[in-house]
Chain A
Amino acid sequence: MAAQPKPLPLEPRNYLKGGGLIGWLTTVDHKRVAVLYGVTALFLLGIGGLEALVMRLQLWEPNNHLISAHFYNEMFTMHGTTMIFLVLMPLELGFFTNFVMPLQIGARDVAFPRLNALSFWIFLVGAVLMHLSWIWGGFPNRGWFGYANLTESYYSPGLNIDFWDISLLILGVSTLLTAINFFVTMVMMRAKGMSYMRMTLFCWAMLVTVILVLLAFPALTVGLLFLLLDRFFGTHFYIAAYGATPILWQHLFWLFGHPEVYILALPSFGIISEIVPVFSRKPLFGYPMMVYSIILIGFLSYGVWGHHMFATGMGPVADSAFAITSMLIAIPTGIKIFSWIATVWGGSLRMKTAFYFALAMIVEFTIGGLSGIMHASAPVDLQQTDSYFVVAHFHYVLFGGVMFALLGAIYYWWPKVTGKMLSEKLGKWQFWLTIIGFNGTFFPMHWLGTWGMPRRVYTYGAGLGWTGLNQFETVCAFILGFSFLLMYINLVLSTARGEDAPADPWDGRTLEWAVSSPPPEYNFANPVEVEGRDAYWLMKYGRGGAREAQMFAEGKIPPVPQNMQAPPEKPIHVPTPSIFPLLIAGCLFMVAIGLLIGWWRIMEIGGGTMFICIVGMCLEYPKWGEKSHNLDEEAPHSLGIDLRKAGLWTFLGSECVFFASLIATYVVYKSRNFGGPGASILEIPLTSGSTFALLMSSLMMVLALHSIEQGRVKWMRFWLVCTMALGCVFLGVEAFEFLGFFQKGLAMQTDLFGQCFYTLVGTHGVHVTIGVIWLGSILASSFRKNFGKSKALSVEMVGLYWHFVDIVWVVIFTLVYLMQQVKGA
């Protein structure tokens, strides 16, 4: 299965050429994966935009019945879900970060190229599934926030919410894989000399963004898991009649949802921080403060979710705390605005389309920010909640702040991506139409909201005074739609027959402009070494500014320095294409669709094939399980740590948040549990025995690692078998315990305790099962030739996972089993 080296043409080949359709389907090149994301997200942007126009047509006049109320609900749900999960995030993370970040840090690819491709294909599965629900009865229709308990089976009996739930879970997996990948890439694979404080602002923004993804998405995953259990297994996580509370969903959702706002906004801050200095011909003003403010925004964004929930009655203490943190976050955001203005101030401005959009973003985002501060005040927010004022606010943030930055990024980086310049004339037309259309559509919503027009409303009565502004907004929305049509025309025409782009069309400051447009397959012919911030600027002009002044006076952009054009000095390692990411995603689609429509055979075939493909993907790595010897070259900041090990630790950090959400729910609901057998049913002596088995399995695991580090393969196999056996004992006792509880009348549906207990302990059991399977695959592969000391990394990786599962059990055993001895705990 091991892939053999395939010689490529000796001349540098641009990444877009060669391979045909198969080349694109099996690609693991970060640039091609980025293009796949970009094309998909731009297509979905068109769909999301059309959904918005349908809504605007419905609101054209009072008592309008152009579409049904049900279809209107579907439209606003799909518009929100599509724009956030299928357009903005994939454009920011999947397209621009994927393409630009490795180039900006001087890397040849991301840390895990095949994982990157897998992320894309999984994302595509999620996007397709989200829209496929239409075939089985209709689109999801409970809003992008999916508030409980409207999403419960009683209120939403169709399959549409099932599709929504499972699609979001799948999209979450894709995003999490991307975040782990980018995190390890940025921490470890920066070029020599690129300290953190020499990294571009875009990369800084993305570093904080992926940390937010890692820490925020698990809460959403848990919320969606509870909804899945409610809908598929009859639990009652969000149903008040059973003692639960729908507010739990709001907490879990907004624990993800507000960091999500910054997951969307921070990349746009990074984009603006790239465009503004380039077109002002000045270094970014206050770089360190910009970095610190990004970090502070990321930190604070994790503690402001409650301002979405003032109307739920959290009480004055919680309201005050969330109001303070929400107001505080305006400070670092304000620093960024002032820093951009100071960068533009006194600069030699070049008024290109990208710069237009960047300047517009600063203005529009500031308007959105100002109305955002109003929401931080609980009494004011209570007046604005669920009104069109909120719609105006978040569109000024997400369109004015994020989409404007993305439009700027398209005009800025498109020449690098495709090697073709976009038409400035069409670009300027698009810009002005966007400005008119956007402000005309969304600014009047401030008034409509203040006058009392509720959001998500299907239609409104005549005589309320809302008609004129609604009609004005609808006209402007179509102008906005037309501006995007111009963009699509520009992208297609310019890419087909536009002017060829030079390597450095904007006199750029960062490393992506040091390579040809489009870049070669391997990015950089030789390892890059940087000497300061604005690395490429220093390469072109050096320090002191004399050459810069001379070139500027002559109106020239200096050519790419010779050392960046030199031929490769050593063999270049380009990741091998792989079909497995596509196959795994295809199998995932079969599993999901089988589960959704109850086609179990398809689910079984898909699940089985997916397992085989995952094993195949692991084994296809040419030197699977060995440490990379050229880490110093590939990852100068790795400190000798293998990238895969760093990736696993990052994943485990994210898993902590996942289990914390589950455990917190258990503790909260246990205190609300009335009736039923409750926690007194738990048998500590039995579980103490299984706990002992699991602890001892950790000892066996670490002895297996010790053995392989000594080169003793047979001993390693012995200890691995012992670890698996003890893992199976643990699972057996758990199954026995569950069976006993069923017989005593405690099922998942019995009470709050039952559903939380089975979910928490069962999820841990699933992790143990995965660990046993992983151990089994290592054991099986140890019978292959050449399995020896050099494969210790494989054993170490499974060991880390196994020990993590063990320490999670340490917490569960204490909280769930032992503490039930204390009455009322």
Chain B
Amino acid sequence: MSEITQVIETGPFEEHPAHPGAGAYVIVAVALCILTALEVTVAYLPALRPVMIPVLIILAIAKFALIAMFFMHLHYDSRLLSTFFLGGLLAAFVLFIALLFLFVYLDRHRAIIM
């Protein structure tokens, strides 16, 4: 009969699933800086006021996606991990929209009716 031991054995390190090199990371960082600069510029340009909110949201989503996909490796790792994260993100988005709708939209709607 084999011996029973109280230890979780671990062994040699397995190579990571093809993470990108340092060059790719630097390119992503440069892209993030450019997007941030664009955001700040957009926020200060009066001509863009009418479209400022959608443009800022798009730029923020782009930055969010770049960090999640490349720095957090969701683009390279198993889709299972993306599912874990995106599930939470989706629930967070639904909650955010629901609370906004219940308070902001309905408040205004009631104010109009009254």
* Chain A residues near B81 (CB-CB < 8 A): 641, 645-646, 649
Cβ-defined contact, A656 with B2, below 8 A = no
**A68 CB-CB contact with B under 8 Å:** no
Cβ-defined contact, A573 with B29, below 8 A = no
Cβ-defined contact, B22 with A575, below 8 A = no
* Chain B residues near A530 (CB-CB < 8 A): none
Cβ-defined contact, B95 with A255, below 8 A = yes
- The contact of B89 among A576, A650, A656, A692, by CB within 8 Å, is A656
CB distance from B92 to the nearest CB of A (A): 3
CA–CA, A251 to B102, complex, Å? 9
CA–CA, A804 to B71, complex, Å? 10
**A744 CB-CB contact with B under 8 Å:** no
- Smallest Cβ-Cβ distance to A574: which chain B residue: B6
B-binding segment of A143-151, A390-398, A540-548, A693-701 = A693-701
B-binding segment of A6-14, A480-488, A600-608 = A6-14
- Tier of interface size on chain A: 35 or more
Cβ-defined contact, A819 with B53, below 8 A = yes
Give the residues from 594 to 644 in chain A that come closer than 8 angstroms, CB to CB, to chain B: 621-623, 626-630, 639-641
- Smallest Cβ-Cβ distance to A650: which chain B residue: B84
Cβ-defined contact, A667 with B8, below 8 A = no
* Chain B residues near A219 (CB-CB < 8 A): 95
Give the dominant DSSP class at A's interface: helix
**A66 CB-CB contact with B under 8 Å:** no
CB distance from B27 to the nearest CB of A (A): 10
**A706 CB-CB contact with B under 8 Å:** yes
CA–CA, A705 to B24, complex, Å? 14
**A769 CB-CB contact with B under 8 Å:** no
- Given the interface pairs A314-B102, A653-B87, A664-B95, the reply to whether A709 lies near B19 with Cβ below 8 Å is yes
Cβ-defined contact, A660 with B96, below 8 A = yes
* Chain B residues near A315 (CB-CB < 8 A): 106, 109-110
* Chain B residues near A251 (CB-CB < 8 A): 99, 102
CB distance from A670 to the nearest CB of B (A): 10
Cβ-defined contact, B10 with A629, below 8 A = yes
- The contact of B77 among A521, A641, A667, by CB within 8 Å, is A641
Give the dominant DSSP class at B's interface: helix
- The contact of B52 among A10, A626, A668, A821, by CB within 8 Å, is A821
CA–CA, A628 to B88, complex, Å? 26
CB distance from B112 to the nearest CB of A (A): 11
Cβ-defined contact, A800 with B22, below 8 A = no
CA–CA, A772 to B83, complex, Å? 27
Cβ-defined contact, A641 with B72, below 8 A = no
- The contact of A630 among B9, B85, B100, by CB within 8 Å, is B9
Cβ-defined contact, B106 with A317, below 8 A = yes
Residue interface mask B1-45, A partner, CB < 8 A = 1: 111111111111110110101100110110011001001101110
- Given the interface pairs A814-B56, A818-B39, the reply to whether A657 lies near B91 with Cβ below 8 Å is yes
- Given the interface pairs A3-B7, A211-B87, A664-B96, the reply to whether A810 lies near B67 with Cβ below 8 Å is yes
CA–CA, A641 to B16, complex, Å? 10
- Given the interface pairs A302-B91, A626-B10, A640-B78, the reply to whether A810 lies near B4 with Cβ below 8 Å is no
- Smallest Cβ-Cβ distance to A665: which chain B residue: B99
CA–CA, A789 to B16, complex, Å? 11
Cβ-defined contact, A706 with B95, below 8 A = no
* Chain B residues near A792 (CB-CB < 8 A): 13, 16
CA–CA, A56 to B28, complex, Å? 66
**A688 CB-CB contact with B under 8 Å:** yes
- The contact of A314 among B89, B91, B106, by CB within 8 Å, is B106
* Chain B residues near A521 (CB-CB < 8 A): 4
**A703 CB-CB contact with B under 8 Å:** yes
CA–CA, A789 to B14, complex, Å? 10
- The contact of A699 among B29, B85, B98, by CB within 8 Å, is B29
- Smallest Cβ-Cβ distance to B106: which chain A residue: A315
**A567 CB-CB contact with B under 8 Å:** yes
CA–CA, A688 to B100, complex, Å? 27
CA–CA, A3 to B49, complex, Å? 62
**A215 CB-CB contact with B under 8 Å:** yes
* Chain A residues near B91 (CB-CB < 8 A): 215, 302, 653, 656-657, 660
Cβ-defined contact, A790 with B12, below 8 A = yes
Cβ-defined contact, B3 with A7, below 8 A = yes
- Smallest Cβ-Cβ distance to A570: which chain B residue: B2
CB distance from B85 to the nearest CB of A (A): 5
Cβ-defined contact, A811 with B33, below 8 A = no
Cβ-defined contact, A668 with B100, below 8 A = yes
* Chain A residues near B16 (CB-CB < 8 A): 709, 792
- Given the interface pairs A646-B81, A664-B100, the reply to whether A810 lies near B11 with Cβ below 8 Å is no
* Chain B residues near A696 (CB-CB < 8 A): 29, 33
* Chain A residues near B109 (CB-CB < 8 A): 315, 317
**B104 CB-CB contact with A under 8 Å:** yes
Cβ-defined contact, B2 with A568, below 8 A = yes
- The contact of B4 among A3, A10, A654, A688, by CB within 8 Å, is A10
Cβ-defined contact, A811 with B4, below 8 A = no
- Given the interface pairs A627-B13, A818-B40, the reply to whether A657 lies near B92 with Cβ below 8 Å is yes
CA–CA, A570 to B9, complex, Å? 12
CA–CA, A807 to B65, complex, Å? 9
Cβ-defined contact, A569 with B2, below 8 A = yes
**B47 CB-CB contact with A under 8 Å:** no
CA–CA, A521 to B4, complex, Å? 10
Cβ-defined contact, B29 with A803, below 8 A = no
- Given the interface pairs A8-B4, A571-B2, the reply to whether A663 lies near B96 with Cβ below 8 Å is yes
User: What would 28 A/B residue contacts be, using CB atoms closer than 8 Å?
Assistant: A3-B6, A4-B7, A10-B1, A302-B91, A572-B5, A574-B4, A574-B5, A627-B10, A629-B11, A641-B77, A646-B84, A649-B81, A649-B84, A652-B85, A653-B87, A656-B88, A665-B99, A671-B103, A696-B33, A699-B28, A706-B22, A789-B13, A790-B12, A807-B67, A811-B60, A814-B56, A814-B57, A819-B53
- Interface of A toward B, CB cutoff 8 Å: 3-10, 187, 211, 214-215, 219, 245, 248, 251, 255, 302-303, 306, 314-315, 317-318, 521-522, 567-577, 621-623, 626-630, 639-641, 645-646, 649-650, 652-657, 659-661, 663-665, 667-668, 671, 684, 688, 691-692, 695-696, 698-699, 701-703, 705-706, 709, 789-790, 792, 799-800, 803-804, 806-807, 810-811, 813-814, 818-819, 821-822, 825
Beyond A641-B80, A646-B81, A803-B72, list 20 extra A-B contacts (CB 8 Å): A3-B7, A6-B7, A317-B109, A571-B2, A573-B5, A576-B6, A623-B9, A640-B78, A649-B81, A688-B36, A698-B32, A702-B25, A792-B13, A803-B68, A806-B71, A810-B63, A811-B60, A811-B64, A813-B60, A822-B52
